[in-house]
Amino acid sequence: MLIPTAVLDFATLAVPDTSYWAGTAAHYYINPPGVDTDRACVWGSSSDPWGNWSPYVAGANVDSSGDTFIKLGWNPIYLEPATPFRNTMPTWGVKIDCPDGNCNGLPCAIDPSQDRVNQINGGQAIGAGGGNFCVVTVPKGSTANFIVFESGGNQDDNSGQFYHCLKFLDIDMERFVIPFRTAVEFILATIILATIILATIILAPFFIHSLILVLILTIIICRVLVNSSMDSQ
């Protein structure tokens, strides 16, 4: 399953536990900053260092005790002899950070200012296809972050636009809710909109002019509600 996700600042990864098929871990391709999902989250080709030819990969799974194991490593396809950019070190890096400090296995990072191709900053192991990786254990109840940074930049600043494949994005639903000043306003607005919708359903088959009028009234009322909401802020 391929799930493209654009990450502007922060996103939450889906991490499977032992109930997932055969205890399989999640696998992620970490794509270069600025490459959009239309280009990055596809089965690509060796002509570009993104998609399944992206330089870095990550993995995550939860064991039966509730501990989470997260992996950061080099994509073995990036290192294949036939890959034209296999000896090119990316200008951006990734590191694992644990805000509460309870993780085991740090540091775990790929830093272009310090490392060369297929090198890991921290405890290094050799994975499939010869790609080196590191693993961090996150105890139950703790959290960890993958932080993407530009070479030579501030590693604590993960702002900017980058894209991961096979990720789930947290959506702040508060951005889509119109705040009302009182509960009465909310109830009245709900009744009005419900009445308009019902009238539309009833009148639409018979009176096209009535339908147009109802739609116009709906737009006007919605604009009034939004303006009232903005004024209340």
Last residue of a domain, one of 150, 173, 196: 173
Which residue carries 């990316």 as its tokens? Answer: 90
Is residue 183 domain-shared with residue 169, that is, in the same domain?
no
**Long-range contact set of residues 181-189: C-beta below 8 Å, sequence gap at least 24:** 181/228, 181/232, 185/228, 189/221, 189/225
* One-letter amino acid for residue 160 of the chain: G
Last residue of a domain, one of 151, 173, 195: 173
Last residue of a domain, one of 173, 188, 216: 173
Write the pLDDT tens digit of every residue in 1-26: 566 777 777 878 778 888 877 677 88
Is residue 127 domain-shared with residue 216, that is, in the same domain?
no
Q: What CA–CA distance (Å, rounded) separates 133 from 126?
A: 6
Query: Is the pTM of the predicted complex or chain greater than 0.75?
Result: no
Q: Which of 83-87, 142-146, 218-222 is predicted least confidently?
A: 218-222
Question: Residue 170's beta-bridge partner residues?
Answer: none
Which residues constitute the domain of residue 226?
A: 178-232
Is residue 145 domain-shared with residue 201, that is, in the same domain?
no
Is residue 71 domain-shared with residue 126, that is, in the same domain?
yes
The pLDDT of 78-83, averaged and rounded, is 95
Query: For 134, how many CA atoms within 13 A lie in the half-sphere containing its CB?
Result: 20
Is residue 105 domain-shared with residue 201, that is, in the same domain?
no
Q: Which pLDDT band holds residue 172 (cuts at 50, 70, 90)?
A: very low
Is residue 43 domain-shared with residue 106, that is, in the same domain?
yes
Q: Is the pLDDT of residue 76 over 60?
A: yes
Is residue 19 domain-shared with residue 106, that is, in the same domain?
yes
CA distances from 20 to 1, 138, 153, 167, 230 (A): 14, 19, 38, 16, 45
Write the pLDDT tens digit of every residue in 43-63: 878 899 998 999 999 999 999
Is residue 153 domain-shared with residue 200, that is, in the same domain?
no
Is residue 167 domain-shared with residue 182, that is, in the same domain?
no
Sheet architecture: strand order including 132-138? 4-7, 162-165, 26-30, 56-62, 68-74, 132-138, 125-126
Q: Is the pLDDT of residue 223 over 80?
A: no
Total domains, the chain: 2
Is residue 139 domain-shared with residue 196, that is, in the same domain?
no
Is residue 184 domain-shared with residue 169, that is, in the same domain?
no
Give the pLDDT confidence score for residue 177 in this predicted structure: 35
Is residue 148 domain-shared with residue 202, that is, in the same domain?
no
